[in-house]
Amino acid sequence: MNATVDDSQWMARAMALAQRAESADEVPVGAVLVVDGTIVGEGWNCPIGGCDPTAHAEIQALRAAAQACRNYRLP
């Protein structure tokens, strides 16, 4: 897979989200879910502060995307 300018943009956003997690004393992980060039979901690790073992960045991004798309079946 060849990285594109868009890939770098999305990765930069994920890194910014990871910094948000780190500033909250969480493991610094961020995630973005992109469909057709648009972010439909994003998240950062927050299991410690939220006392939620499922609150990993990827899960948070999937939950946000499902809400944004108003469907649990994501494209």
pLDDT of 2 reads: 58
CATH architecture of structural domain 5-69: 3-Layer(aba) Sandwich (3.40)
- Tokens encoding 11: 């990765």
Out of 22, 26, 42, 58, which one is annotated catalytic?
Answer: 58
Look at the block and give the residue holding tokens 């439909």.
40
Helix (H) and strand (E) counts in the chain: 3, 2
* Residues contacting 2, CB < 8 A, separation 6+: none
pLDDT digit string (tens) for 12-59? 999 999 999 999 999 999 999 999 999 999 999 999 999 999 999 999
22 is catalytic: no
